[in-house]
Amino acid sequence: MTRKEKYQFVINYFEKHAPDAETELLYDNPFQLLVAVILSAQCTDKRVNLTTPVLFAHYPTPYAMANATFDELFPFIRSISYPNNKTKHLIGMANMLIHDFKGEVPMTVDELVKLPGVGRKTANVITSVIDAQPNMAVDTHVFRVSHRLGLTTTTATTPLAVEKQLIKNFPTELIHKAHHWLILHGRYICLARNPKCPQCGLTEICNYYRKVIKK
């Protein structure tokens, strides 16, 4: 099977079984999604979703968050991983939104990565989810699933290398959706330690299944 055929198999599968795949983070506007994605670094979406309703009630806008002190904001995200750093990032991010972007969340990766707490992965999430831009955020799930399936080569040893290969091979109009396909598949089926291969509809084209499980 060629790589092109493998990608088409994956596309056909997910368009049938997960046509409406989307982020599991809860948000009402770009600012809320930006906050949620910053909080989600090395933390589960479930934990973030338990935390953000009260946080957003107290700090609904960049202006409200920018005026918060560390001691005021910290208790709201105490249960999140790395709360000290993330408290500083949120306050710094809100201030930069106000001073550099007129209180609006920018919609380019280059602008977003200037914000405290925002790396390339977070910027790709924001632009793909909010604006359906063809950007691929590569987290541990996307990295693992793409390698196991054989969507990426063994030479793609960094998130950026994986990102470039996935963007090159997925049709442009599907990249923002493919991001969610791979994340959710890794989160619920293609688990790191005990992948649920019997429940997976992609074993037919999966390198990992052929080499490790089936042999």
Per residue in 136-180, pLDDT (tens digit) is 999 999 999 999 999 999 888 999 999 999 999 999 999 999 999
Quote the pLDDT of residue 215. 60
The reply, when asked if residue 197 is annotated as ligand binding, is yes
Last residue of a domain, one of 131, 155, 187: 131
Which pTM does this prediction carry? Answer: 0.92
Active site residue 100: no
Cα separation values, 189 from 122, 144, 181, 195, 197, Å: 23, 12, 11, 6, 7
Of residues 139, 168, 196, 215, which has the active-site annotation? 139
Can you give the CATH number for the domain in which 170 is found?
A: 1.10.1670.10
Q: What is the pLDDT of residues 53-93, one digit of tens each?
A: 999 999 999 999 999 999 999 999 999 999 999 999 999 99
Nearest CA to 24 out of 108, 127, 125, 100 is that of 125
Of residues 6, 86, 121, 177, which has the active-site annotation? 121
The reply, when asked if residue 43 is annotated as ligand binding, is no
35 and 14 within one domain? no
Active site residue 131: no
124 and 38 within one domain? yes
